[in-house]
């Protein structure tokens, strides 16, 4: 039996294992079983905490999607682990090591956590895309009656951001799934992609829904919210600091300048602890 914590950030939920004392290795099949909401614990992503080889008194985050695929970055999971580690170390700041590098995390007001998510990658070969193109206007033909003219951004993982006319909620789950599935596996994205649908509510407020690569529709996506903010700022349609409203609630995203890191602030929540036989 293996101990785990169940946590979530705005409903984007995780099963978190601690492998610092005893190593834990999970196959793709085991990950899928754990993530199954009927036969397992149920979650969007799984996180395994490992000893960091580069930083003292912190951890390396080994992250996987519900389908068993490897995950480079997950903002909501990083906030949750940051809260675990800051409580454990009794500090208000900590560095976490992730597949995309070391990220600085700190306490914010009202029990929230801020993560410096790194600088966005905007060049076609950094995202990566399969062909050279303008990442601010991806080369898809305009199709009436559906989302068009997306932006590509990498926050350590790829994102395809659509700004929609009218209310993003008019898409419904059917529309998010239809277009999310279509673009997640589009050949322009060799590593597949997360897909965001965005409505601009005000210069400092956007509403987004997300189809996460390897997980489907989720209540929130921290790296996706960062990518949305970067895309909106690059398009010149928002201010540099904004509220991003997701299905599960609000994140505050701040990209102070083009050469700065993107800061994400939001809540964390502990659901329960348990043991599972994998």
Q: 42 exposed, middle or buried (CB, 10 Å; 0-12, 13-18, 19+)?
A: middle
| CATH class for the domain made up of 2-115+268-276 | alpha beta
Average pLDDT, integer, range 8-28: 96
Distance from CA of residue 219 to its chain's centroid? 11
Average pLDDT, integer, range 16-32: 96
- Residue 184 DSSP class: H
Decide if pLDDT at 57 tops 80: no
Decide if pLDDT at 56 tops 80: no
C-alpha span between 73 and 63 (Å, rounded): 8
Q: What is the largest CA-CA distance in the chain?
A: 56
Alpha helix (H) ranges present in the chain? 28-35, 75-89, 172-184, 222-235
**17, β-bridge pairs:** 48
- Of the CA atoms within 13 Å of residue 19, those in its CB half-sphere come to 18
Of 28, 89, 19, the C-alpha closest to 57 is: 89
pLDDT of residue 267: 97
Fold of 151-260: Diaminopimelate Epimerase; Chain A, domain 1 (3.10.310)
| Residues above pLDDT 90, as percent of the chain | 96
pLDDT digits (tens, 9 = 90+) for 162-173: 999 999 999 999
What DSSP element (H or E) covers 153? strand 151-154
Looking at 51-65, 85-99, 191-205, which range is the least confident one? 51-65
Decide if pLDDT at 184 tops 90: yes
pLDDT digits (tens, 9 = 90+) for 247-268: 999 999 999 999 999 999 999 9
C-alpha span between 188 and 120 (Å, rounded): 19
> Contact at 8 Å (CB) between 172 and 150?
no
Active site residues: 74, 221
C-alpha span between 9 and 228 (Å, rounded): 18
Numbered ranges of CATH 3.10.310.10 in the chain? 2-115+268-276, 151-260
> Contact at 8 Å (CB) between 217 and 246?
no
| Residues above pLDDT 70, as percent of the chain | 100
pTM of the model: 0.94
Average pLDDT, integer, range 217-234: 97
Of 262, 277, 273, the C-alpha closest to 116 is: 262
- Residue 176 DSSP class: H
> Contact at 8 Å (CB) between 251 and 266?
yes
């Amino acid at each position: 039996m293996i101990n785990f914590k169940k946590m979530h950030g705005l409903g984007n939920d995780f099963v978190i294992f601690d492998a610092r004392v005893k190593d834990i290795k999970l196959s793709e099949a085991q990950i899928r079983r754990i993530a199954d909401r009927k036969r397992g614990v149920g979650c969007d992503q799984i996180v395994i905490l490992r000893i960091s080889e580069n930083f003292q008194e912190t951890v390396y985050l080994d992250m996987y999607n519900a389908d068993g695929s490897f995950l480079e970055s997950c903002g909501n999971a990083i906030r949750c682990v940051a809260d675990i580690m800051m409580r454990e170390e009794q500090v208000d700041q900590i560095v976490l090591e992730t597949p995309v590098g070391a990220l600085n995390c700190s306490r914010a007001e009202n029990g929230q956590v801020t993560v410096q998510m790194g600088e966005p990658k905007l060049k076609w070969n950094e995202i990566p895309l399969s062909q050279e193109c303008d990442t601010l206007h991806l080369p898809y033909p305009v199709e009436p009656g559906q989302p068009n003219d997306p932006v590509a951004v990498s926050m350590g993982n790829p994102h395809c951001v659509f700004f929609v006319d009218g209310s993003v909620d008019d898409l419904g789950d059917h529309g998010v799934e239809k277009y999310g599935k279509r673009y997640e596996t589009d050949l322009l994205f060799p590593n597949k992609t997360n897909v965001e649908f965005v409505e601009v509510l005000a210069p400092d407020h956007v509403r987004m829904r997300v189809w996460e690569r390897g997980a489907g529709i989720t209540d929130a996506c921290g790296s996706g919210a960062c990518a949305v903010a970067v895309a909106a700022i690059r398009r010149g349609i928002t201010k540099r600091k904004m509220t991003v409203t997701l299905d599960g609630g609000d994140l505050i995203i701040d990209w102070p300048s083009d050469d700065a890191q993107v800061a994400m602030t939001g809540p964390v929540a502990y659901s329960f602890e348990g043991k599972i036989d994998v």
